[in-house]
Structure 1
């Protein structure tokens, strides 16, 4: 099946507001920087031909180390980090509203231009580099936040819970139907899947025109999965907006908020980890193919808990001396997360498709993930260097120009 977590950052993972003179919230930038690693680990499985689009598993050799690496990513990463970015989208939306008010600018036209710019970037990204792009989906669903921005936070929180409840009910029905119904495809279905994977592999190892055609064909299929995730994204948007209105990520070192973060972290781990283990067991093993989709769905439904545990655990750690140093290392990457996300796709396309080395389906999961972590370390270093010299990353600067429509930055 096609994995829906083949996604990345949004307009809201650009700096928290369009005015670079604003005081930055280091913890939010650090959360974005951390989430970039998870997004990269999830996306590289697809772009390397190990997961999702190719119908592959742990790689051509499928060694024990490959299986373990793939299993861990499915359990701890897959479907967790797009929710964290969605939450940050909603949180940063409130900061952008505040920035527009301080600048004396109408918010709606500014945000509409921003969402349009994000949609165009996402469409180009999907066609040229990676069909699992979610920028277009975020741009469209961002219109919901724009329309609902005046809603009382308490009502918005209840709406987020209702949206999640409806999505959970639909997913559980789908999972039960798949588990109980025998499609009867048997060997014919497996043969068709193998033929499709072989065709996709040939395309991604071909020239740039072949890659673009394969991306366009795959995008139409992936859009179905992204639309299925839409409800979860909207719920996370709304939850993040409520958190932003109540400034829940500010002053996280106070006793009251520390206690709340600890509770969220513990409950999130208790609920989210078993769901992640079940997802990995169903998609990588040892459960059989019949349980792949039901296990994946249950993993998706518990993913918000693990996402919340990651975020709250990091926020707690950031209040310690060592955690503060970690936040300082992660924050520059988070300040230019949109640039970093697109750069990840450029590098992965050069490594795994006909744009460059064409290693699609030729490298095992352990080597792919090890190289990915090294590249993420390089991104952290490059981001620190760039942010020490500039206020915005290059793509963030472009999106900001579209957002402000050529209006010069105050004091810029």
Structure 2
């Protein structure tokens, strides 16, 4: 499982209903090169849940007083319930949340209208923290939610459609595993199985790690697990931002990362960079699934909470969905300008300069390059067509044994209006 920073609170602002607890180390996250030597459990999310004494809608989670002080009739800030939002520290979602929670009062105002306070925290271990009762909302997607709903009997609600699965499996450009050399992604995976070279996975417990066994099995016919049943003996875990350096340096043959997770400096074509790219995409995790019969690109991110919590505080899903929609309008109005206005935004996207920023936008928002899935959707409201397609995907995941029976009655989709 990818490493995370230690929790640290910065106290927030005195006039806001928002408290912001960023988990950002002093050194830039994109320069970390720490690699763990052993794979964590592929069911890391469920393992975290198994050790808990409360569910997301229990004492520490979405139900009860939600981590706050419980509310009363006077509506005073000290007595209002505090809603705990949790998301990853980086990427466009992190930039949007900075705008909503730090640069403006948008998030606080929406929650104040619902007589609620709000607290924002950042972590790469969000799903496990949520499951252990440490947050009311987290951004893990419907596949992770369905896995929890079925295997842990936790009723969950998906409230938005933030992003599809956009992670890439990368290798050295021009190397043996480059599809231009091997002939195809299938040939590259066949070679990895034959050679048993190192695969650097960005953690078993996150959205991509949880999906990888199904992706590799269904798309390529191999077992990809953390136990002796795996067809690959050399799977290790590394932070997404470290994978490009590991592949470039020959310490890993393949790995999972993306242009917004630290790979842009080594993936960007020469017209966006000072030099030719050194790593290349072998396949996109979402795109490869979308090409399979009965499947589509899985959802990577939503605003997910427990069903009990959504019922007890119906204004809370509305506040986060509507706030985030305003943040998306702000981002899409001038994407390159939003990145340029704060140097920290380059760091949050793992970029070194604005030319690389333009590459990320052309790759992930404008879809002008070899990518057909946006890194974040402009419209996040759940539609009937998305819900039906997503349910069909999850049913296919059950058919191949990835999900257990029981997920469907424990997972609901809430169509929260964005305005």
Is the TM value for this pair above 0.5? no
TM-score range, shorter chain: under 0.3
Normalized per residue, the structure richer in helix is: 1
Normalized per residue, the structure richer in strand is: 2
TM-score, structure 1 length as denominator? 0.24
